[in-house]
Amino acid sequence: MTIVEMRVHMDCLGCKNKIEKALKKLDGVDNVDVDMYKQKVTVTGWAEQKKVLKRVRKTGRKAELWPFPYNQEHHDYAQHYYNQYYTNPANYYSTYNYRKHGYNGHDHGYYQQPPSSTIFDEQYSSMFSDDNTTGCSIM
């Protein structure tokens, strides 16, 4: 029996149900446990790791193998993650994690783009308001 743990980006209960339903249809899967709080999916059964990852990615969700070791007891994963990936960023290893089987770097997780700046200042937005009736006149 194998245990496959993945980090899967899930936004809502619909995403959770979609992933759970897709994995339960896969041959060799006995149990699917989805933890929305940790963004973690645990699959137990006889299914191969590659097939499980492929099935989750077919649902349109970003999935990668869980970067922490499997342990029954509760660990402080945040500290373990920080020590493992940020103190020595030159630590690369081969995995099945994204697109092609390549190497993972120190930047796991999801990149969030910084908020875009506003194009217009506040004075431009108030120029065409109903309060300022002469603001739209041409001189």
Q: Is 139 helix (H, G, I), strand (E, B) or coil?
A: coil
pLDDT classification of 75: cutoffs 50, 70, 90: very low
The string of pLDDT tens digits covering residues 8-55 is: 988 889 989 999 999 999 999 999 999 988 899 999 999 999 999 999
Q: Output the pLDDT for position 91.
A: 52
- Cα separation of 27 and 9, whole Å? 23
Order of strands, sheet of 63-65, starting from the edge strand that comes earlier in the sequence: 29-35, 40-45, 2-8, 63-65
Distance from C-alpha of 134 to C-alpha of 84, rounded to nearest angstrom: 62
Rg (CA), the chain: 23
- Tens-digit pLDDT profile for residues 108-139: 555 555 555 555 555 555 566 666 666 666 65
Provide the 3-class DSSP secondary structure of residue 40. Answer: strand
> Which among 37, 45, 38 has a CA at the least distance from the CA of 66?
38
Domains, the chain, ranges and CATH?
2-104 (3.30.70.100)
